[in-house]
Each structure stands twice: as C-alpha cells, then as structure tokens.
Amino acid sequence: MQKILFPTDFSDNAANALNYAIEVINHLKSVHLTIIHTYIVPNNVNTLVPIEGHIQQDSESEMNRVINQIQPLLAEGIVLQTMIKRADTVSTIGTIANDYDLVIMGTQGASGLKEIFLGSTTNGVIKHTQTPVLVVPNEYHFKPFENIVLSVDNGPINDDKGVQLIKRFLQIFKADLMLFHTEENAADKGFDRSVTKLFDNAGYSIDFNFIDKNVNESIEEMVIDYDVDLLCLIRRKRGFLENLFHQSVTSKEVFHAMIPLLILHDV
C-alpha cells in the first residue's frame, strides 16, 4: 500500500489540489492517504486570550469538513487519516514526508522579485524532504496522463521512489514517456545514459533541444509543443557557492508551473 501525504491550509487552492490528488489516488487504488494541517500561534497576541484553543478548534472543524466532502469520493480500499499539528509548516511536513512515498500539494506561484524573496511553502517542503512531491498548479483540473516528460541532465537518477512512481503512472494510464534534455552550450555532455535503463520496456522516446535559450524557457516551450500532462524534474543538491549564485531550475518551475510537476530528488 502506497502512503501519500497531502498538506492543506484549507484554502481554495488546497481544495483544488486535493480534488486532483483524489483522482490520482483512486487510479493508484491501494493507497493510505494522510491529510495534514499545521498551524502556529502568533507571538503578538494578548496572552489572556486562549488563542491556541480557538485555532485548534477551527482546524479540527475545517478538517472534519474536508473529510465529509472527500470521503464519498474515495475509491473502496483507500485508507484515510488526518493530522493536525502546532508546528512550523515547512520543516514539519518536510520531515514527516520522509516516511511517505509521495507528497501531493498545491501552489499558487509567484513572479518577478516575489519568487526570489517571498518563496513558497511548496518550494520549502521540496527542499526539506527526500520524498517525491507532486505539485498541482492553482485551478488545474485532473486529466488522465497521456504524455509524461522527464527532464534529464548529465547526472544519474537515484530517487527509486520517484522512478517507481513514474513507471506506475505509465502502466496505469498507458501514457507515453519522453526523456527531454536541453544542451545549454557546446560543453554540454548530454545526459547520463544510465537513465534509459531505468525505463526499459517503458516505451520512451528521447528528445534533445539545441535552441539557444535557457533551460526554463525550453522546458516551457516543450510543455506546450508536446501537450504534456505531467513534467518530472530532478532536484540536485548543490554546494554553498552554487546555491548562492545559481537559482535552481526546479524552484523556478515550481513558481511558473502551468501543469503538474513531479519533483524527484538526488538522494
């Protein structure tokens, strides 16, 4: 039984992502779903007011509302559990997620300076866990996967959870898989050929992009040209100086997501 974690803040965006998650979960069939909500108590409130009790009560009320809404939508055999914690959202979810096979969550995105200075909960969770994260854009509605793209670089893929999940999606939806690589300059050595062995018998195709554009632009064009339903990206660990001067392709795609993203990790 696969274990899936769904973080929620009870917003409309989270509700949309949960509807998407239910569709995915019902296709996977044998799933243990945990819906988690975290909250913090502001430090600048009147200490004479029992604010934490009110927040806890409101959280429980909202969680019960969510359960009542989705329970009839879940396929038979799906196990549902809920969790409410007073804790920092990013670090808590990131740690708990390591015990799961997949995290599904929504993102509203940002642009310009916001994506550099504001950040997002979704992006934070991705950086704090080693579990694959399926990111659902705001207002995106589920449709069965037909075209799945895995963007590959010159490194191997060590995320077995992520690879197995992609293969499961390919099997369930009878989808096509494309390995996509952008050569940024003449020094580019292509992609690690060990990646192809992970998807033997998966019916994949390979596409190279040689146009003189940055990686994010070429990925966005490819998503439109190939009518992609799911884009899979690998989050690589970088050294301190690289982190300082290099903005991750994965992070930028989270902010600019047009379609669902499955984030794998270089574990």
Same domain, 126 and 184: no
What is the domain range of residue 16?
Answer: 2-137
pLDDT at 245: 42
Q: Residue 61 belongs to a domain with what CATH number?
A: 3.40.50.620
Same domain, 11 and 49: yes
Same domain, 14 and 127: yes
pLDDT at 8: 94
List of residues 6+ apart from 239 with CB closer than 8 A = none
Same domain, 131 and 185: no
Judge whether 72 lies within some domain: yes
Ramachandran category for residue 203: left, alpha or beta (phi over 0 → left; psi -120 to 50 → alpha): left
The neighbour count for residue 39, using CB atoms within 10 Å, is 16
The amino acid present at 164, given as its one-letter code, is Q
Judge whether 165 lies within some domain: yes
The secondary structure element, H or E, covering residue 165 is helix 160-173
pLDDT of the chain, 267 residues: tens digit per residue: 799 999 999 988 899 999 999 999 999 988 999 999 998 887 765 555 577 788 889 999 999 999 999 999 999 999 999 999 999 989 999 999 999 999 999 986 544 444 433 457 888 898 899 999 999 988 889 999 999 999 887 788 889 999 999 999 999 999 999 888 776 655 556 677 788 888 887 777 776 665 555 667 777 777 888 889 999 988 887 644 444 445 566 666 665 668 899 999 986
> Among 102, 118, 137, where does a domain finish?
137
Nearest CA-CA partner of 266 in 231, 246, 238: 238
Same domain, 120 and 218: no
Domains: count for the chain: 2
> Among 90, 109, 137, where does a domain finish?
137
Measured distance CA(37)–CA(187) in Å, rounded: 46
pLDDT at 36: 96
pLDDT at 114: 43
pLDDT at 30: 87
Measured distance CA(167)–CA(119) in Å, rounded: 31
pLDDT at 174: 92
Same domain, 79 and 97: yes
The amino acid present at 139, given as its one-letter code, is E
pLDDT at 109: 53
DSSP string computed for 166-186: HHHHHHHHT-EEEEEEE--ST
Same domain, 74 and 173: no
Same domain, 71 and 157: no
pLDDT at 247: 54
Count, residues in the chain: 267
Say how far residue 112 (Cα) sits from the centre of its chain: 21
pLDDT at 173: 94
Same domain, 10 and 75: yes
Same domain, 120 and 58: yes
Same domain, 9 and 120: yes
> Among 137, 160, 188, where does a domain finish?
137
User: What global pTM score does this model have?
Assistant: 0.85
pLDDT at 225: 81
Residue 82's DSSP bridge partners are 35
76, burial (CB in 10 Å: exposed 0-12, middle 13-18, buried 19+): exposed
Judge whether 142 lies within some domain: no
SS3 for 201?
Answer: coil
pLDDT at 113: 41
Measured distance CA(96)–CA(151) in Å, rounded: 27
